[in-house]
Amino acid sequence: MPSIISDIHQKQLDLYTIKELPESHAWRSSLDHDYQSNDSVESIPVIDLNDENFAIEKIGHACKTWGAFQIINHNISQRLLDNMEAAGKRLFSLPMQQKLKAARSADGIAGYGVARISSFFSKLMWSEGFTIVGSPLDHARQLWPHDYKKFCDVIEEYEKEMEKLAGRLMWLMLGSLGISKDDVKWAVGGGCSALQLNSYPACPDPDRAMGLAAHTDSTILTILHQNNTSGLQVFKEGNGWVTVPPLPGALVINVGDLLHILSNGLYPSVLHRAVVNRTRHRLSVAYLYGPPSGVKISPLSKLVDQGHPPLYRPVTWSEYLGTKAKHFDKALSSVRLCAPRIGFGNPKDRNSVPVG
């Protein structure tokens, strides 16, 4: 990490009390049009999972064209979504010195802190996050020494329900590519996951700030719950940045980089970001779903033939996360085997280098 950048990342400002946007958080001038969203186009598709006849077709189309979609009738109760949101609010409204007791360590994954990708940018994001991998117990004890159980119970129930939904969605997404359980044996027993809670306080100068910078997720798929305040935007070639409106009870599904690899580039991982709001506090919860540890992910053999050679080399999830931490937006192209062909591959992936 360059040293000038690292200095500002040591600071964790209390964004809830700041009345004017500090230079450290000013990403753009208000005249900067590149950052603006295009609200004249339709957003990502909304798919009813109860629609047995067409859900799979619609999912395939959404994955190919957007790399994202929203789902309704997913069987996650509104009670659980509300409890999860309340748990997040309770965490982020703790005093800063309390939150810092559960701070993510320099080389760690779990805990409280600024967005992990902050080190790639010269400006700070208007957000704070809390990452949970497996049991939240140790961190919850640091945050609420006498009252950690309530938080842990909600997280554990949420993780359990999300795991079931993620497995179901993975098979729908793979199914839409003509892939069945016989084709991907490792995927039958479930996967690994992380839970990311994001908080975006109301911002005095939202047009110049950035909640979470543009990125793709290093997952197979991500299930995102956003509260009733908009902020999530997805990038679509030709349309630019498009807002994903929060719909009551709906969940957003992102195609991640590992599904991009499995699908041999047919399903692009979606580039997305979060913008902030002048008056409203926004909260989101991302369930990041990947393969079991040690499993090498590579283009599925059914999707590879002479005309469609494998575009990516095999990589485990932890190897890929390491690559992402080092190369960020060049991670996908750094595991690429050959240059993209026209009409096949990720148009965003412009940095690929031929190998061999």
Ligand X SMILES: O=C(O)CCC(=O)C(=O)O
Catalytic residues: 282
CB nearer to ligand X: pick between 176 and 198: 198
Q: How many beta carbons lie within 10 A of that of residue 140, not counting itself?
A: 22
In the range 267-296, which residues lie near ligand L37FFZMX by CB under 6 A? 286, 288
**Chain residues 19-78 in contact with ligand L37FFZMX, contact rule CB under 6 A:** none
Nearer to ligand L37FFZMX, 55 or 158 (CB): 158
Beta bridge partners of 273: 233
By rule CB under 6 A, what count of residues binds ligand L37FFZMX? 15
| In the complex, minimum distance from the CB of residue 168 to ligand L37FFZMX, in angstroms, rounded to a whole number | 20
Smallest distance from ligand L37FFZMX to CB 330, Å: 13
DSSP one-letter string for 170-189: HHHHHHTTT--TTT-GGGTT
Instruction: Tell whether residue 115 is a contact of ligand L37FFZMX (CB under 6 A).
Output: yes
- Interface with ligand X includes 272 (CB under 6 A)? yes
Binding mask 163-202 for ligand L37FFZMX (x = CB under 6 A): -------------------------------x-x------
Alpha-carbon distance of 125 to 324, in angstroms, equals: 19
Compare residues 161 and 257 and give the one whose CB is closer to ligand X.
Answer: 257
Which 90-149 residues touch ligand X, going by CB under 6 A? none
Among 131, 193, 198, 352, binds ligand X (CB under 6 A): 198
Angstrom distance (rounded) from CA 40 to CA 343: 26
d(CA 348, CA 270) in angstroms, rounded, equals 10
Indicate which of ligand L37FFZMX, Fe ion, ligand X, none lies near residue 291 (CB less than 5 to 8 Å, by partner kind): none
288 SS3 class = strand
Helix, coil or strand: residue 71: strand
Site string for ligand X, 208-247 (x = CB under 6 A): ----x----x------x-x----xx---------------
- Torsion angles phi and psi, residue 236, rounded to 5: -125, 125
Residue entry with tokens 């990516």: 312
What does the buried/exposed string (b/e) look like for 91-120 if buried means 16 or more CB atoms within 10 Å of the residue's CB? bbeeeeeebeebebeeeeebbbbbbbbbeb
Shortest reach from residue 274's CB to ligand X, in Å: 4
> Which residue in 43, 176, 199, 218 binds ligand L37FFZMX (CB under 6 A)?
218
The full length of the chain comes to 356
Q: Is 196 in the site for ligand X (CB under 6 A)?
A: yes
d(CA 279, CA 187): 43
Residues between 122 and 161 with contacts to ligand L37FFZMX, criterion CB under 6 A: 131
In contact, 290 and 163? CB cutoff 8 Å: no
Q: How many residues bind Fe ion (CB under 5 A)?
A: 1
Backbone angles phi, psi at 152, to 5 degrees: -60, -40
CA 159 to chain centre: 16
Q: What is the DSSP letter of 263?
A: T
Distance CA 266, CA 187 (A): 19
Contact between 117 and ligand L37FFZMX by CB under 6 A: the answer reads yes
Residue 284 interacts with ligand X (CB under 6 A): yes or no: yes
85 touching ligand L37FFZMX, by CB under 6 A: no
Interaction between residue 217 and Fe ion (CB under 5 A): yes
Tell me which stretch binds Fe ion (CB under 5 A): 161-169, 211-219, 263-271, 292-300: 211-219
| C-alpha–C-alpha distance, residues 355 and 313, integer Å | 10
Q: Which is nearer to ligand X, 224 or 242 (CB)?
A: 224
Rg (CA), the chain: 20
Residue 149 phi, psi dihedral angles, 5° rounding: -65, -40
Candidates 38-46, 111-119, 235-243, 263-271; binding stretch for ligand L37FFZMX (CB under 6 A):
111-119
Q: Is the dihedral of CA 100, 327, 274, 345 positive or negative?
A: negative
- The residues that touch ligand X, with contacts defined as CB under 6 A, are 196, 198, 212, 217, 224, 226, 231-232, 272, 274, 284, 286
